[in-house]
């Protein structure tokens, strides 16, 4: 079982907080996050890089809940945002503007204005078109925008196809072969200042050598751009640090840090990283209740939960596996081999197949591990089942940091036009 989840006297706890009472009080499905684990993960990164002190900008996309962002911000993290909405969240959670980087392949004029008004550290710019737009918006405001050029290092990282971002054919970044053109453009723009280079080759990567290939390429490109006379200050090397969900191995953070420090040392520049999943995945669990256990026609037993792909999409979207544990467990509990599924009307709404599960009975509670990243934030209204609440725990205390949304709340602000034909009445 992955820390910080552990049984004590047969009761599953997250970082010392028993989970069953939270489910009883707040209902299920329910996300629970441990603040202490997030801080420990950040400290581990900082320790691995010491005495170098990179800026770790937490990638809000992994989990933008204010209390989560605030936990990391108060522990010293900056923020990596990809929209005006995330920028607003980062600010609302207390992240200082000069610790915010703004990435994303498509930023609107409004979003660029918001970044300039806030005074963020840098825009990670992904195309020549965007460079011109940032320059134009900055010119209207009479300011100069700090930008880092996101370059595509053409590295195929060992990860799921849908979360690899650093290959030539991916939509992200500017191809290195266009660097000459970019520099010519930059020289003609008066309202952008190129302060750094950026790359991000994908997510859930555990192979240090994948990062190394990309980082070596970025160091070459950095030297080239600096040699062209641009006074670069920092190299932003993205996120993507892989964790262990089930059988995978976690990125060896210490080996990774030694590599990254070694490869970049000669530049003598500042370093920025954008970890998301690594900081929050293991800090979170999803609690769910077993609605019923259904016998399939080929002898299968389907454990049907009140959480589904509308609550935690990763298994349906990426074939991801989140270990599932009963909230109470005794040594003499019967263990059945079951398929754990959601209630949604899609055959793909399956969490895991052929898994041994104790107490697989209607009414029992289970927890999915490692659900703190790309969990609640990817939830949807599909099948109108409402939204799970979110709880933050620490040292025996707990707080609702996002209330559950009952099904009726999902349509409370919708409207039916008055000009629609009235419904047929009985007998018409
Ligand atoms: C530009 C950028 N930075 C950081 C991240 C965070 O990735 P992860 O959560 O894997 O660390 C992402 C996610 O895809 C990203 O696109």
**Residue ranges, CATH 3.20.20.10, the chain:** 35-277
Q: How far is the CA of 238 from the centre of ligand 1 (A)?
A: 7
3-state secondary structure of 21: helix
pTM of the model as a whole: 0.95
**Residue ranges, CATH 2.40.37.10, the chain:** 5-32+281-410
- Atom in ligand 1 nearest the alpha carbon of residue 275: 11
Atom 13 of ligand 1 has which residue's CA nearest to it? 203
| Stretch 339-345: mean pLDDT | 97
Share of the chain above pLDDT 90, in %: 87
CA 175/CA 379 separation, integer angstroms: 33
Atom 5 of ligand 1 has which residue's CA nearest to it? 239
- At 400 the pLDDT is 98
- At 428 the pLDDT is 63
- Atom in ligand 1 nearest the alpha carbon of residue 82: 1
**Confidence band, pLDDT 50/70/90 cuts, at residue 167:** low
Q: How far is the CA of 111 from the centre of ligand 1 (A)?
A: 19
**Top mutation candidate among 41, 200, 204, 235 for ligand 1, by most atoms within 8 Å of CB:** 200
Write out the two tokens for 386: 């409402």
240 in Cβ contact with 157 (< 8 Å): yes
Q: Is 345 designated active site?
A: yes
CA 23/CA 102 separation, integer angstroms: 36
**Top mutation candidate among 61, 148, 275, 277 for ligand 1, by most atoms within 8 Å of CB:** 61
- At 156 the pLDDT is 74
- At 159 the pLDDT is 75
What distances in angstroms separate CA 18 from CA 79, 224, 312, 396, one per listed residue? 31, 55, 22, 9
- At 1 the pLDDT is 64
- At 210 the pLDDT is 94
CA 184/CA 180 separation, integer angstroms: 6
134 in Cβ contact with 120 (< 8 Å): no
Q: How far is the CA of 243 from the centre of ligand 1 (A)?
A: 13
- Atom in ligand 1 nearest the alpha carbon of residue 104: 1
Name the residue with higher pLDDT: 270 or 163. Answer: 270
User: Domain spanning 5-32+281-410: which superfamily?
Assistant: Lyase, Ornithine Decarboxylase; Chain A, domain 1 (2.40.37.10)
- At 2 the pLDDT is 61
What are the DSSP E strand ranges found in 137-178? 145-152, 174-175
Q: Which residues lie with the beta carbon below 6 Å from any ligand 1 atom? A: 59, 61-62, 80, 103, 165, 200, 203-204, 238-241, 274-278
- At 385 the pLDDT is 97
Class of domain 35-277: alpha beta
**Mean pLDDT across the chain, nearest whole number?**
95
Q: How far is the CA of 158 from the centre of ligand 1 (A)?
A: 15
| Stretch 215-243: mean pLDDT | 96
3-state secondary structure of 39: helix
| Stretch 22-49: mean pLDDT | 98
Q: How far is the CA of 330 from the centre of ligand 1 (A)?
A: 39
Q: Is the per-residue pLDDT at 295 higher than 90?
A: yes
**Confidence band, pLDDT 50/70/90 cuts, at residue 424:** confident
The DSSP secondary-structure symbol of 405 reads B
CA 322/CA 286 separation, integer angstroms: 10
- Atom in ligand 1 nearest the alpha carbon of residue 202: 14
């Amino acid at each position: 079982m992955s820390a910080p989840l552990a049984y004590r006297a047969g009761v599953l706890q997250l970082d010392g907080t028993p989970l069953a009472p939270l489910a009883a009080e707040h209902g299920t499905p329910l996300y629970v996050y441990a603040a202490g684990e997030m801080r420990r993960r950040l400290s581990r990164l900082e320790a691995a890089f010491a005495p170098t002190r990179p800026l770790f900008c937490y990638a809000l996309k992994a989990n933008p809940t204010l209390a989560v962002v605030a936990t990391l911000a108060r522990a010293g993290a900056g923020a990596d945002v990809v929209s005006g909405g995330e920028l607003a969240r980062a600010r609302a959670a207390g992240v200082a503007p000069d610790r915010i980087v703004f990435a994303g392949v498509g930023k609107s004029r409004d979003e660029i204005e918001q970044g300039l008004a806030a005074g963020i550290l840098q825009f990670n710019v992904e195309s020549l078109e965007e460079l011109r737009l940032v320059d134009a918006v900055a010119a209207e405001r009479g300011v100069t925008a700090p930008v880092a050029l996101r370059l595509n290092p053409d590295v195929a990282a060992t990860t799921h196809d849908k979360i690899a971002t650093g290959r030539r054919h991916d939509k992200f970044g500017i191809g290195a072969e266009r660097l000459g053109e970019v520099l010519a453009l930059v020289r003609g723009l008066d309202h952008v200042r190129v302060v750094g280079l950026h790359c991000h080759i994908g997510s859930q990567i555990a192979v240090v050598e994948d990062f190394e290939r990309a980082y070596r390429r970025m160091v070459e490109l950095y030297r080239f751009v600096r040699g062209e006379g641009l006074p670069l200050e920092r190299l932003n090397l993205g996120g993507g640090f892989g964790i262990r969900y089930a059988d995978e191995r976690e990125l060896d953070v210490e080996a990774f840090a030694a590599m990254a420090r070694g490869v970049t040392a000669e530049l003598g520049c500042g370093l920025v990283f954008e970890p998301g999943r690594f900081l929050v995945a293991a800090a979170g669990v999803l609690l769910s209740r077993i609605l019923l256990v259904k016998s399939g026609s080929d002898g299968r037993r389907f454990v049907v939960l009140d959480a589904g792909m509308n609550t935690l999409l990763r298994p349906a979207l990426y074939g991801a596996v989140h270990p599932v544990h009963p909230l109470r467990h005794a040594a003499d509990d019967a263990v059945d081999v079951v398929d754990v599924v959601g209630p949604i009307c899609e055959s793909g709404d399956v969490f895991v197949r052929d898994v041994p599960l104790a107490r697989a009975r209607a009414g029992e509670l289970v927890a999915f591990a490692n659900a703190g990243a790309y969990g609640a934030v990817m939830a949807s209204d599909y099948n109108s089942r409402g939204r799970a609440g979110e709880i933050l725990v620490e040292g025996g205390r707990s707080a609702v940091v996002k209330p559950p949304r009952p099904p009726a709340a999902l349509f409370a602000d919708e409207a039916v036009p008055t000009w629609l034909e009235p419904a047929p009445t009985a007998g018409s």
